Amino acid sequence: MRVLGVDPGLTRCGVGVVEGVAGRPLTMVGVGVVRTPSDAELGHRLVAIEQGIERWLDEHRPEYVAVERVFAQHNVRTVMGTAQASAVAMLCASRRGIPVALHTPSEVKAAVTGSGRAEKAQVGAMVTRLLRLDAPPKPADAADALALAICHIWRAPAQNRLQQAVAAHRTLKGRTA
């Protein structure tokens, strides 16, 4: 399974591609950041993010895209920018028919470190260890993107089984009604 993880942001949008299956060693295929100037017009920034993500999709051909689910913060401006960048990533993947999964920050931290309250440094350290890298990817947005991809690879099989069970239950329930 090849997954593009996206840590959305208007100034720095982390992107990372991981390949592998749950229970086996994973491989980092690529990692980076799509950057936009903070003084640029919002529309131009969103187009730059779209172009950057499209390049990653073209180059790495992921089977899935995992995006960090936007969560409420006190700073509405920050959460709006994150949500807009997130929407661009989902649009790029969906336009190509690539399934998109959303994972919360605490879900990603728990999957990678064992604790949903882990600090950024802990996430970076575990990503480094899990992918057998020489050093944590910089900036933290890049490490977070890899963590999203790892989380998806590890959680997708269980999520798929759960979705299949729910669908089967609904089908069964529909027959008895």
Query: CA-to-CA distance for 31 and 175, rounded, in angstroms?
Result: 48
Distance between CA atoms of 53 and 143, rounded to whole angstroms?
A: 16
* Residue of 41, 68, 119, 144 marked active site: 68
The Cα–Cα gap between 88 and 105 comes to: 19
In angstroms, rounded to a whole number, what is the distance separating the alpha carbons of residues 175 and 107? 35
Cα→Cα distances 42→10, 13, 26, 46, Å: 9, 14, 36, 6
Instruction: Exactly one of 19, 50, 141, 144 is catalytic; name it.
Output: 141
* Cis ω for the linkage preceding 62 (within 30 of 0): no
Q: Annotated catalytic, 68?
A: yes
To the query of whether residue 41 is one of the catalytic residues in this protein, the response is: no
Q: What is the set of active-site residues? A: 7, 68, 141
